[in-house]
Structure 1
Amino acid sequence: MQGHRDQVTDTAYEKRREEIAALSADVTLHGPIPVVEYIDWEHEVWRLACAALDARHRVDAAAEYLESAEALAIPLDHVPQLRDVSDRLTSISGFRLQSAATLVPLKEFCGSLANSVFRSTQYIRHPRAPLYSEDPDMLHDLVGHGNVLANDRFVRLYRLAGEAANRVESDEALQFIGKVFWFTLECGVVRERGERKAYGATLVSSYGELDHFRGAEFRPLSIESLVDVKYDITTYQPLLFEADSMNEVEDLVGSFWDTCDDDSIAALFSGASRSVGTRR
């Protein structure tokens, strides 16, 4: 397992991922973050992916993302310890990281956000595909989410998303809050000086997404337009929603999360149904 990444078999990768996940299996929200002794191929994947992303960020990432990433200063030449990044993040914005064995259920994930905690994995993506991962790994969690959580605007939005998820009771409302999160904080795009720039974590943490996102179908960001939209998290995104500025993102999305409840979200779905029913 210490060897070159090309020599890591699928079986060896799955075993290594399970080993790292097991370290966080019993970690509580306020417990200590486990230390992971990363090995050669994991550092190699991290260096390769971060070097490629760093070059793309200068062209494709939004200004506020770049400023926040510079403030957090995640190492690019080796896999950092999650607890070290968490300590630095807390000193900057008050948000902290906590380890997770695997993808956290939406309600639990958002509940943590309401308490200024982001649940991060600690394993690294498959070495066969260092520039793209179908499911979140630590590179996605830190380069995508961790970097923006050093920014006060994003901190407010993440907390509001968590508070909204805690407030609703129906699964329909929870899933819609998650959908708004997906098309903004995961896959959000904003215009800067007439150019499209990525700020969502899924986009900025994936070289493949950054290579493809300008070819997507773009629609203006609005909460109502998301009601009937479907999405697949395991593929490059064919449809993205863009805002004219980060102020617009905060106004639209922040206001929605700050005030939404089961009734208001149900009304959105009811309005969409009436619109479809009266279409000629």
Structure 2
Amino acid sequence: MDKSSHVYDTPPAGANADWTVPQNWEAFSADEHAMWDQLFARQTAMLPGRAADAFMRGIDVLKLTRPGIPDYRELNARLTSATGWQIVAVPGLVPDEVFFDHLANRRFPAGNFIRAPEQLDYLQEPDVFHDVFGHVPMLADPVFADYMVAYGKGGLRSLGFGALDHLARLYWYTVEFGLIQQADGLRIYGAGIVSSYAESIFALDDPSPNRIMFDLLRVMRTQYRIDDFQQNYFVVSNIEQLLQVTVETDFAPLYARLDSLTDIPAGEVLADDVVVTRGTQEYAKGAGR
């Protein structure tokens, strides 16, 4: 395999059985720290008024004493105090059961690399900026933190039902690309949006995508795009909704029902959807990031 892809079949040299590695903060180069600073400055300047209140409150967790990629020794002291979570370094993408186990035990695995300058606006594999800047602020919110634990535990159970594809859609449309309806308007909270300058604008301002109120079954039936802006975004009324539906739903009969239903293509609007804004889908017809 291409080691530069940060995708491994087995734990690489130096990794523990749970795929964690030492962060080795001191080993990051000046250029790598500068890339973090550039990304951090750009996002924090444009997110007020766009990002969810919970995210903006959580951004204080990232206000560390040193510039550059956060040192997890300092970051975890603050995050653990807030919600009991900690960030652990991993070499890249980890197997599903490893990922779920980390979440179930309040550990968020973060890629131990940062994008190159030519990947400033987009990279397919999550780097330390996506994983830490994108995810940590919401993990400082107690309700969202509990949702992530519940998701991790549910993920471990899902492996026995062969339902991983359906559960992955729940993560994608909430943790990665979720919107929330606040009293002062729609806001972004998904890590895939808040860590992306272009999608932070597209998700709220562009007329192309549909924005649909969250429904668990609907979300778990809906396909998604991994290499471009989303055609549908799902909107929660509040973070408590995510926790409640995850904790209170018996997923076993839900998985059985999903097996008998067809998938819904990305970008499709159903007759019974509660639509916040119906998109033109003009971007979807065209063209890429």
The structural deviation recorded for 1:254 is 4.3
2:129 to 115, 122, 139: 139
Unaligned runs of 5+ in 2: 265-270, 272-289
Unaligned runs of 5+ in 1: 1-12
CA distance in 2 between partners of 1:254 and 1:144 (Å):
24
Pair 74,230 (structure 1): closer, same or farther in 2 beyond 3 Å: farther
TM-score for both structures, normalised by structure 1: 0.81
Structure 1 residue aligned with 2:110: 120
1:65 to 48, 55, 65: 55
CA distance in 2 between partners of 1:80 and 1:164 (Å):
30
CA distance in 1 between partners of 2:132 and 2:37 (Å):
14
Whether the aligned pair in 2 keeps the contact of 1:47 and 1:76 (CA below 8 Å) is no
Residue 33 in structure 1 maps to residue 22 in structure 2: yes
2:152 to 162, 171, 187: 162
The structural deviation recorded for 1:136 is 0.2
Structure 1 residue aligned with 2:198: 208
CA distance in 2 between partners of 1:244 and 1:80 (Å):
32
CA distance in 2 between partners of 1:76 and 1:249 (Å):
34
CA distance in 2 between partners of 1:74 and 1:202 (Å):
22
Matches within 5 A, 1:176-215: 176-214=166-204, 215=206
Structure 2 residue aligned with 1:240: 233
Amino acid across the alignment from 1:236: F
The structural deviation recorded for 1:152 is 0.7
Amino acid across the alignment from 1:43: H
Percent of aligned pairs sharing the same letter: 23
Two-structure CA RMSD over aligned residues (Å): 3.0
Higher helix share: 1
CA distance in 2 between partners of 1:29 and 1:84 (Å):
22
CA distance in 2 between partners of 1:75 and 1:266 (Å):
50
Amino acid across the alignment from 2:46: R
Whether the aligned pair in 2 keeps the contact of 1:140 and 1:202 (CA below 8 Å) is yes
Structure 2 residue aligned with 1:229: 222
Whether the aligned pair in 2 keeps the contact of 1:133 and 1:206 (CA below 8 Å) is no
Pair 31,83 (structure 1): closer, same or farther in 2 beyond 3 Å: farther
